[in-house]
Amino acid sequence: MDFAQLSTERPRVSDQDPEEVLHRIFGYETFRPLQGDIIHEVVKGGDALVLMPTGGGKSLCYQVPALVRPGTAIVISPLIALMQDQVAALKELGVRAAFLNSTMDFEQARDTENALMTGELDLLYCAPERLIQPRTLDLLHHASISLFAIDEAHCVSQWGHDFRSDYLELSRLAHEFPSVPRIALTATADERTRKEIAERLSLTEARHFISGFDRPNIQYRIAPKTNANKQLLDFINAEHDGDCGIVYCLSRNKVDATAKMLSGKGYTALPYHAGLNAGDRARHQERFLREDGVIIVATIAFGMGIDKPDVRFVAHLDLPKSLEAYYQETGRAGRDGKPSTAWMVYGLQDVIKLRQMLEGSMGNDHFKRVERQKLDAMLGLCEVTSCRRQVLLRYFGDTLEQPCGNCDTCLNPPETWDGKVAVQKALSCVFRTGQRFGVTYLIDVLRGSENERIFQFGHQAVSTYGIGTDLSANDWKSVFRQLVANGYLRADPEGYGALQLTEECRPLLKGEVAIQLRKDPVIKSSAGRSSSGTSGRRKIADQITDKAGWEALRACRKALAEEKGVPPYVIFHDATLFEILERRPNSLAEMAEINGVGAAKLEKYGDTFLAALRELDGH
């Protein structure tokens, strides 16, 4: 790593203002909402706690101050992939950035440390476990530090979904470097988690900047699980054929099976989970970042810090444990602001499995109570009949005055029906059969099945035998799913899937209260892309009229990316490429006016893309 050469790529800009840095280095004209306020607070030496949705521009909140304040900014990041990705992107902008992590040999680490000590770095990325080592802290005490940025700050929360114990040690930065400003950033934290972050990182006196959590370009859709593989295939075929996406599953076996299934249907689908060796995981992630149309099928082990802007869909084949996890994972779609889909199927077995895992965990009563509340909120989003986005935002303390018009419950409002009698039948059947059986058996009893087990247990003689023939088996599954989701039934914590009554069901069982149930939609064959309901916000691919020109510019970008050894979006995002195609600049001055074309990229790639445009136009 030649830091001597790197250090001459651009002069220090500490005498310039943040707006000038934004335009000259990053190629943007104005800050997004809150970015400017956050950046000015940190530049003047203040601490900040930042909550901003994925794709909202969190990185600029510390990258710009790092280029304005004298010294080196230390960025604490939880994942090697995130460090490598951001450092590669910053170097393309002419920024002097590096990382310290376990992938480096002794010589590389020493060179990086020397560059830090001699002031040749603007930003240094470091994992929390490395940062808190005595040797690293000693280095920092002898270097000029401009600021500390703690990314993915929710990892400090023991109630969070990505807790990492190393983050707990980061509070010492406040005591060891009292004059250095600190900024903690996260996309996902409810009020409880925000308070915990501030306390654990000694940021109780920091200014809090809470951006709106809404991602209006993401369409949220949740459907009952019938045949998950077929539903996933129909969804991808109809709406996202050829697109980049992430599919989340709860288990490693399901990840492998789903990736194999998609590959068998002609998709480039790669598994990612902790059971794969490190080399395979790295290769699969690399292909996902650098190639078009790759689908990663993963457990939640994948995704934190992945900065790929053109992920067009995130699909869940299993229910996440909390709205924090759901929001974090779905937020990996559409970071470029273009229309994207968060699609999920879930069923009764998902609910039972998660409730059993929770009750069987080693956590204390307080922990279990908090986790129950989180799961209940997740289930509430699944079963809601009003706007999903309003429910999701309300959970994070945000508000949306009007229904969004871009979720499934807005686009196709669900029907409800009076479930009072059906619920009484279902609850009575659970009681009459001794609260020892699962949903399939209970439905058989209600529908008067003559299978052997029913006669073996003598349940053909109970009063609920055969009283449910008015509903189909799928209708009864929906009834039981909603009763479990709403806490009227629970799964036996000892396992085996038996359903048991809860105290909350008593008024329902006695018929003292009414209950409206959600009517599951009839599954129809997909009607194609037009049915996705993006309310006029079309994908870039759907807006392109000059297909040949688009492919030519993509080929140009790909060649440059391969030459540099970086993902194509590090050269230019799709949105920038599309603007180049539409505006067809004739000079470097005109190219400089395009969003995402900063000074360094203009110098490196401007002439190449202008030549590609001239060739397209036959000049």
DSSP 421-483: HHHHHHHHHHHHTTS---HHHHHHHHTT---HHHHHHTGGGSTTTTTTTTS-HHHHHHHHHHH
Q: Domains in the chain, ordered, with CATH?
A: 3-210 (3.40.50.300), 218-411 (3.40.50.300), 416-518 (1.10.10.10), 544-616 (1.10.150.80)
Per-residue confidence (pLDDT) for residue 526, from 0 to 100:
40
Task: Scan for tokens 């950046």, then name that residue.
Answer: 39
Per-residue confidence (pLDDT) for residue 2, from 0 to 100:
42
Question: How confident is the model over 480-530, as pLDDT tens digits?
Answer: 988 987 889 887 766 567 899 999 899 999 888 989 898 887 654 443 333
Per-residue confidence (pLDDT) for residue 112, from 0 to 100:
94
End-to-end alpha-carbon separation of the chain, Å? 41
For 54-68, 261-275, 300-314, 443-457, which range has the lowest pLDDT when averaged over its residues?
Answer: 300-314
Question: How confident is the model over 131-142, as pLDDT tens digits?
Answer: 989 999 999 999
Where residue 552 falls (left for φ over 0; alpha for ψ -120 to 50; beta otherwise) is alpha
416-418/516-518 β-pairing = antiparallel
Per-residue confidence (pLDDT) for residue 297, from 0 to 100:
96
Mean pLDDT of 358-375: 80
Per-residue confidence (pLDDT) for residue 454, from 0 to 100:
94
**CA angle, residues 195, 198, 203, in degrees to nearest 5:** 150
Per-residue confidence (pLDDT) for residue 522, from 0 to 100:
64
From residue 68, how far is each of 15, 123, 143, 597, 603 by CA, in Å?
7, 12, 17, 20, 22
CB 245 within 8 A of CB 270: no
From residue 427, how far is each of 63, 384, 430 by CA, in Å?
57, 22, 5
Question: Is 316 in a helix, a strand, or coil?
Answer: strand
Retrieve residue 344's tokens.
């999920």
Helices (H), 225-322: 228-239, 252-264, 278-290
The answer, yes or no, to whether residue 173 has pLDDT greater than 80, is: yes
Average pLDDT, the chain: 87
From residue 616, how far is each of 550, 577, 596, 612, 613 by CA, in Å?
10, 14, 22, 6, 5
Per-residue confidence (pLDDT) for residue 533, from 0 to 100:
39
Retrieve residue 63's tokens.
């990258």
Percent of the chain with pLDDT over 90: 51
CB 221 within 8 A of CB 344: yes
Percent of the chain with pLDDT over 70: 92
Per-residue confidence (pLDDT) for residue 59, from 0 to 100:
92
pLDDT category at 546 given cuts 50, 70, 90 is confident
Retrieve residue 224's tokens.
């009952």
The answer, yes or no, to whether residue 106 has pLDDT greater than 50, is: yes
Rounded Cα distance, 503 and 133, in Å: 52
Helix (H) or strand (E) holding 366: helix 365-383
Query: 159: closest CA among 189, 202, 201, 187?
Result: 189
Is 21 or 359 the better-scoring residue by pLDDT?
21
Rounded Cα distance, 580 and 557, in Å: 12
pLDDT category at 157 given cuts 50, 70, 90 is confident
Helix axes 388-395, 323-330, angle to 10 degrees: 110
Mean pLDDT of 565-589: 88
The answer, yes or no, to whether residue 31 has pLDDT greater than 60, is: yes
Per-residue confidence (pLDDT) for residue 473, from 0 to 100:
92
pLDDT category at 536 given cuts 50, 70, 90 is very low
**CA angle, residues 339, 341, 343, in degrees to nearest 5:** 170
Query: 427: closest CA among 487, 382, 469?
Result: 487
Query: 311: closest CA among 247, 255, 392, 265?
Result: 247
Question: How confident is the model over 288-347, as pLDDT tens digits?
Answer: 988 889 999 998 767 665 778 889 999 999 999 888 889 989 989 998 888 999 999 998
615's CB contacts (< 8 A; 6+ apart) are: 552
